[in-house]
């Protein structure tokens, strides 16, 4: 029930002919005439005047009052989608969201929110539209969103603002959720860094993670190019694969590669580590003649199984160390570039730091290089064998048979035994 106040010194009837919902109230003797409108409707919207006619001594007077009937909006929606719909969009796409609030009086207004945070009104564009219902208005509000990875799974909502909604327990809101298709970020490996030394028997957890990605990517561990572990888990915004590794000598020099794959990428994103494992040799053996004539030279060879770093060998007789020598490594020359000159260094004495550099031309075949890498020469008690002679003999050798003959001759006549050799390419 609404009242319009009018104060005069005249008395009027309390009803309004022709308007059964209208009546007057107030103390007529005091000139108070309040207009009461019961069951107000949209037809009651407009200007009302309280008028007093002229007298012999006074001109006519009047006062006006406006009645605005508040009509709340009948609906709110984000055009093209149901409420709470998941809207799939590719990263970088400019998406226009339209919020339509209909049939309100006076015209409504709109606020936009991103995950509950108010968006500044400067970035929205509002347009009033005529309603299909008389004396009402609708509003269409547009918001342009350039979808990025940070918008993935974020809710965008619009809310209707109107005086008739004040105090209402339920506000008028429409919302959608963005699903932004985007590539994952490059993988990050933790738990080991290339160059770090670990030891046989250690345990390590190799963790590979990748942030983002929609659809969800796969994070896979590969060992030497073969699939090792595909147990991918989602943790927050990251996708993670943790591989438990028991360190053995077999892991030394092995490449562990993490690959991140996605339906949005043709090639995976890759990161890798190369393990360095320290381990002791598992065995040591001595080969050579077990019987020898007095005065004759004997050649013995001491060999260990693989180890990292390479083991050092000591020769002893009856537990007394005679000569402390470094081991030499038999090297795989299948990957050497034989088209380029090969450089070798040969030590002539374990007590001399001088090395001879020998260069072989491209005529040297792989089999010959293998033979020279496998044997190096240590000279004992020989004044006739000089470094220059050894250099000349090896440098001028072009035939594997000649190499065998030279080595055999040195070993029989000059008491030469296998020793150490350093290779540099």
The pLDDT of residue 385 is 44
The pLDDT of residue 393 is 54
Instruction: Quick: pLDDT tens for 101-143.
Output: 999 999 999 999 999 999 999 999 999 999 989 889 999 999 9
Do 106 and 171 share a domain, yes or no?
yes
DSSP letter string over 372-405?
Answer: HHH--EE--S-SS--HHHHHHHHHT--SHHHHHH
The pLDDT of residue 215 is 94
Whose CA is closest to 411, among 286, 330, 300?
300
For the chain, the residue count is 425
Helix (H, G, I), strand (E, B) or coil at 374: helix
User: How far is residue 145's CA from residue 93's CA, in Å, rounded to a whole number?
Assistant: 8
Do 274 and 288 share a domain, yes or no?
no
Is residue 203 over pLDDT 90? yes
User: How far is residue 138's CA from residue 159's CA, in Å, rounded to a whole number?
Assistant: 14
The pLDDT of residue 407 is 44
Do 121 and 138 share a domain, yes or no?
yes
> 400-413 vs 387-395: helix axis angle to the nearest 10?
160
Do 273 and 289 share a domain, yes or no?
no
pTM for the model: 0.61
Q: Count CB neighbours of 156 within 10 A.
A: 22
Q: Tell me which of 19, 40, 67 is where a domain ends.
A: 67
Do 413 and 304 share a domain, yes or no?
yes
Do 289 and 415 share a domain, yes or no?
yes
What is the rounded radius of gyration, in angstroms, for the C-alpha atoms of the chain? Answer: 48
The total domain count for the chain is 4
Domain residue limits at 45: 2-67
Do 295 and 400 share a domain, yes or no?
yes
Do 62 and 109 share a domain, yes or no?
no
Q: Tell me which of 181, 204, 228 is where a domain ends.
A: 181
Percent of the chain having pLDDT more than 90? 48
Q: Using omega within 30 degrees of 0 as the cis cutoff, is the peptide bond preceding 106 cis? A: yes
Do 253 and 330 share a domain, yes or no?
no
Helix (H, G, I), strand (E, B) or coil at 27: coil
Is residue 316 over pLDDT 90? no
Do 303 and 407 share a domain, yes or no?
yes
Whose CA is closest to 329, among 301, 345, 348, 306?
306
Q: Which helix (H) or strand (E) holds 408?
A: helix 400-413
Do 296 and 415 share a domain, yes or no?
yes
Output the domain CATH number for residue 260.
Answer: 2.60.40.10
Q: DSSP label at 13?
A: -
User: How far is residue 87's CA from residue 333's CA, in Å, rounded to a whole number?
Assistant: 60
Q: Which residues contact residue 76 at a Cβ distance below 8 angstroms, ignoring those fewer than 6 apart?
A: 99, 100, 101, 102, 158, 159, 160, 172, 173, 174
Q: Tell me which of 278, 296, 327 is where a domain ends.
A: 278
User: How far is residue 355's CA from residue 344's CA, in Å, rounded to a whole number?
Assistant: 9
Q: Sort residue 356 into left (φ over 0), alpha (ψ -120 to 50) or beta.
A: beta
Do 289 and 418 share a domain, yes or no?
yes
Instruction: Quick: pLDDT tens for 227-240.
Output: 999 999 999 999 99
């Amino acid at each position: 029930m609404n009242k319009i106040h009018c104060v005069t010194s005249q008395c009027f009837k309390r009803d309004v002919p022709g308007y059964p919902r209208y009546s007057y109230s107030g103390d007529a003797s005091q000139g108070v005439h309040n207009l009461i409108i019961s069951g107000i409707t949209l037809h009651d919207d407009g200007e009302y005047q309280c008028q007093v006619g002229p007298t012999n001594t006074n001109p006519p007077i009047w006062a006006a009052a406006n009645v605005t009937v508040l009509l709340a909006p009948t609906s709110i929606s984000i055009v093209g989608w149901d409420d709470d719909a998941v809207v799939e969009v590719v990263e970088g796409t400019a998406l226009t969201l339209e919020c339509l609030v209909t049939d309100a009086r006076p015209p409504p207004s709109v606020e936009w929110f991103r995950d509950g945070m108010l968006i500044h009104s400067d970035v929205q564009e509002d347009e009033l539209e005529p309603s299909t219902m008389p004396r009402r208005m609708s509003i269409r509000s547009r918001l342009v969103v350039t979808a990025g990875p940070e918008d993935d799974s974020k809710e965008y909502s619009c809310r209707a603002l109107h005086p008739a909604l004040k105090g209402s327990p339920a506000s008028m809101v429409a919302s959608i959720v963005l699903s932004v298709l985007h590539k994952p970020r490059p993988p990050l490996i933790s738990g080991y860094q290339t160059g770090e030394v670990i030891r046989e028997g250690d345990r390590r957890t190799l963790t590979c993670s990748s942030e983002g990605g929609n659809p969800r990517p796969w994070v896979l561990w590969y060992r030497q190019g073969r699939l090792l572990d595909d147990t991918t888990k989602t943790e927050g915004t990251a996708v993670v694969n943790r591989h438990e590794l028991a360190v053995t000598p077999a892991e030394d020099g092995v490449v562990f590669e993490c690959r991140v794959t996605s339906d949005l990428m043709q090639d995976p994103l890759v990161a890798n580590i190369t393990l360095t494992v320290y381990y002791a040799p598992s065995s040591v053996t001595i080969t050579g003649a077990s019987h020898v004539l007095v005065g004759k030279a004997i050649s013995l060879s001491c060999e260990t199984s693989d180890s990292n770093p390479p083991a050092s060998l000591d020769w002893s007789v009856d537990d007394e160390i005679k000569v402390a020598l470094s081991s030499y490594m038999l090297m795989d020359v299948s990957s050497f570039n034989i088209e380029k000159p090969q450089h070798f260094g040969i030590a002539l004495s374990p007590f001399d730091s001088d090395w001879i550099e020998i260069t072989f031309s491209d005529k040297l075949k792989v089999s010959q290089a293998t033979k020279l890498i496998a044997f190096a020469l240590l000279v004992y008690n020989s004044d006739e064998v000089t470094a220059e002679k050894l250099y000349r003999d090896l440098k001028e050798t072009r035939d594997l048979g000649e190499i065998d003959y030279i080595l055999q001759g040195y070993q029989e006549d000059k008491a030469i035994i296998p020793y150490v050799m350093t290779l540099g390419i």
